[in-house]
Amino acid sequence: MRKRCVLLFFSIALVLGCTSSKAIRGGEVVNGYNISALGLPIEEVSYKNSDGTDLYGWFMKKGGARRVPTILFLHGSHGNILNYLSVIKNLHQTIDADIFACDFPGTGASKGEMSLKSSYQMTLAAIDYLTNERRISQDTIVLYGTSMGASLAFYGASKRDRVLVVVDSGVTSASDYLKAYTLIGLPDFLIRLFGENFNNYPLVRNLKNPKLFLHGEEDGIIDIRYARRLYEQAAEPKDFLWVKGGHVLFRNANLAKELSKKVRAFIEAHISVQGVKQ
């Protein structure tokens, strides 16, 4: 009985931690990156969050004179953009698009405090930077969220209704995670009480932006059964691709080649060629 009470205590503590708006784990804070060693055409970018703090990102041109869509890459809860270098590189090599990858507030070279609220604000600030400073049409921007970044992509699309959304191994809700991975089963009332942050179900039910869901059937972090449920509840237009793979599919260069065909077809279906040519 005592052991069960201890497990319940730690499970409740985990719930409280996971659902706190400040529970996002930041990556290592850095003063700068050795860009020349990364082998990508990276332009370092500084822009402002809505609270005035300095944010940092990488902008990578695809090359050539013609304009192409722009992927806004939103990484997961742990790490910074350098930790997702393989994903960014695979996206850049396999998809005909410019890429803007952002360090979350308080992560990498971005200032501020890492939280769900500040990350939501950063997503909107990044979209607005692209449209206002880069003069990129909002309807040629693709929000690409991986893991927790899916929440940011869905939120950004709910506020900027002309962007596209692609999620790779996207989180569905804190409730789903807690049901599957806490030490013991938690009563539904506790899940309802503490599990509302990162809840993407209400967002996708009303989100009219085109959405593409990518998920691995062997994902040990976000079980694919939840990804299927999120897809089923999402409003049209939507599409999906389930593949043999684990968490964050675009880390794998071979999988990236397969996935990129679906991503390219999705982008082409919703962004006209005329819309991105100069």
Neighbours of 189 (CB within 10 A): 8
Per-residue pLDDT of the chain (278 residues; tens, 9 = 90+): 554 444 344 344 444 444 443 333 445 667 778 998 998 999 999 999 999 999 999 999 997 767 899 999 999 877 899 999 999 999 999 999 999 999 999 989 999 988 888 999 999 999 999 999 999 999 999 999 999 899 999 999 999 999 999 999 998 887 776 666 655 455 555 555 554 566 899 999 999 999 999 999 999 888 999 999 999 999 999 999 999 999 999 999 999 999 999 999 999 999 974 444 33
**C-alpha distances in angstroms, 72 versus 3, 60, 130, 199, 254?**
46, 11, 9, 21, 22
CATH code for 39-177+198-276? Answer: 3.40.50.1820
Domain boundaries, the chain: 39-177+198-276
Position 199 scores a pLDDT of 84
Backbone angles phi, psi at 186, to 5 degrees: -100, 145
Position 157 scores a pLDDT of 97
Position 127 scores a pLDDT of 98
- Distance between CA atoms of residues 179 and 276, nearest Å: 44
C-alpha closest to that of 43 among 31, 53, 33? 33
